[in-house]
Amino acid sequence: MKDSNEKKVILVIEDETPLLEAIRRKLELTGLSVLSASTTEQATTQLQDAPKVDLIWLDHYIFGQEPGLLFVAELKNDPKWKTIPIFVVSNASGPEKKQAYLKLGVDKYYGKVDFRLEQIVNDIQEFLANRGSR
């Protein structure tokens, strides 16, 4: 068992409680540590308070609004946070949003209904492992 300080920390920003619950459980099952936020404001507070965040899991629609793009733009403009990898897991349909996010520099974009939770979590594990060994 790893020391909890060594665990990678994922900040999940998702406003739908049932989905957040599933994501948290799945991530924790694979040995990751989870912080959560249901608004981008909460997420900012989490980022400021947490000792470290290794990766951000971001939903696109949050309470019917679309603050995700703006939030990513802010992160990417901030020297403290711009290197944190971002995985967008969105329920927006159509590839227009995907292109917008990739342009802003997010690392991966998933359509929620098109992917198994397992696959996204595996991709995160792999991504962090590759990053660690660089």
Partner 1 sequence: MRKFKLAVEGSFDYVLFADPDGMILYANPAIERITGFTPREVLGKKAGTKELWGGLMGKPFYERLWKTIKHDKRVFVGEVKNKRKDGTLYDAFHTITPILDEKGNLQFFLEIQRDITHDKEVDRAKTEFVSLASHQLRTPMTAINWYSEMLLSGDVGPLSDEQSRYLKEIYQGSQRMVRLVNDLLNVSRLETGGVLVEPIPAELSPIIIDSIKESKFVETGKEALVRFEKPKEEINLAVDVELLSQVLRNLINNAVRYRFDRSNQQVEISLDKRSVEGVNSLVIKVRDNGIGIPKAEQHRIFEKFFRASNARKTAGDGSGLGLYISKTVVEKWGGKIWFESAEGKGTAFYVTIPLTGMDFQKGEKKLV
Of residues 14 and 75, the one with the C-beta less far from partner 1:
14
Question: Which listed range, 1-9, 11-19, 32-40, 72-80, lies at the site for partner 1 (CB under 8 A)?
Answer: 11-19
Q: Report the largest interatomic distance among the alpha carbons of the chain, rounded to a whole angstrom.
A: 43
Of residues 10 and 23, the one with the C-beta less far from partner 1:
23
Q: Tell which one of 27, 47, 75, 92 touches partner 1 (CB under 8 A).
A: 92
- In the complex, minimum distance from the CB of residue 47 to partner 1, in angstroms, rounded to a whole number: 25
* Contact between 63 and partner 1 per CB under 8 A: no
Q: Where are the beta strands (DSSP E) in the chain?
A: 9-13, 33-37, 55-58, 86-90, 108-111
Q: Tell which one of 7, 26, 76, 131 touches partner 1 (CB under 8 A).
A: 26
* Contact between 19 and partner 1 per CB under 8 A: yes
Q: Which residues lie below 8 Å from residue 60, measured CB to CB, with a gap of 6+?
A: 66, 68, 69, 88, 90, 91, 92, 97, 101
* Contact between 114 and partner 1 per CB under 8 A: yes
Of residues 61 and 127, the one with the C-beta less far from partner 1:
61
* Cα distances (Å, whole numbers) of residue 117 to 25, 59, 81: 11, 14, 26
- Strand ranges of the sheet holding 55-58, from the earlier edge strand across to the other edge: 33-37, 9-13, 55-58, 86-90, 108-111
* Contact between 112 and partner 1 per CB under 8 A: yes
- CA distance linking residue 22 with residue 20, whole number of Å: 5
Q: What are the residues binding partner 1 (CB under 8 A)?
A: 16, 18-19, 22-23, 25-26, 29, 61, 91-96, 112-114, 116-118
